[in-house]
């Protein structure tokens, strides 16, 4: 039996080559990576907007971390094309309310940004 806290999917999945890159130094096409929480996109729910290089397990990691934050996924619009993931995921607190706690929003945004490889320009 596999314990869910110790399961590492990367041991079982091969990476595929992605020709989109953050810069063109390796011959790839430049692709802006971003992830942010948007509370203006919906009156009822909090939106997580992701633009990232696609990879195996990306959605799994995003949804797993949304759950770890104690949030429920209400709706998701998933778009993947030519190595690019452009997703919008609508979440709520477990009681169905919009996420309004500034600390939770900041934690959620930083967690998703870390998952997609977003680098802050500080």
Inter-residue contact 46 to 99 (CB < 8 Å)? yes
Specify the fold of 28-116. Alpha-Beta Plaits (3.30.70)
CB atoms within 10 A of CB 84: 17
Going residue by residue through the chain (122 aa), what tens digit of pLDDT does each one get?
Answer: 455 567 676 666 665 555 555 555 556 667 788 999 999 999 999 999 999 988 889 999 999 999 999 999 999 999 998 888 999 999 999 999 999 999 999 999 999 999 998 865 44
Query: What CA–CA distance (Å, rounded) separates 88 from 100?
Result: 18
């Amino acid at each position: 039996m596999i314990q869910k806290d110790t399961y590492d999917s990367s041991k079982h999945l091969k990476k595929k080559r992605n020709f989109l890159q953050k810069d063109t130094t390796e011959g790839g096409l430049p692709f802006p990576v971003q992830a942010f929480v948007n509370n203006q996109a919906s009156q009822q729910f909090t939106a997580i907007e992701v633009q990232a290089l696609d990879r195996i397990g990306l959605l799994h990691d995003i949804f797993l971390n949304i759950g770890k934050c104690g949030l429920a996924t209400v709706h998701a619009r998933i778009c993947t094309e030519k190595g690019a993931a452009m997703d919008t995921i609508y979440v709520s607190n477990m009681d169905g309310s919009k996420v309004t706690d500034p600390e939770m929003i900041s934690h959620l945004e930083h967690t998703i940004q870390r998952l997609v490889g977003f680098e802050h320009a500080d």
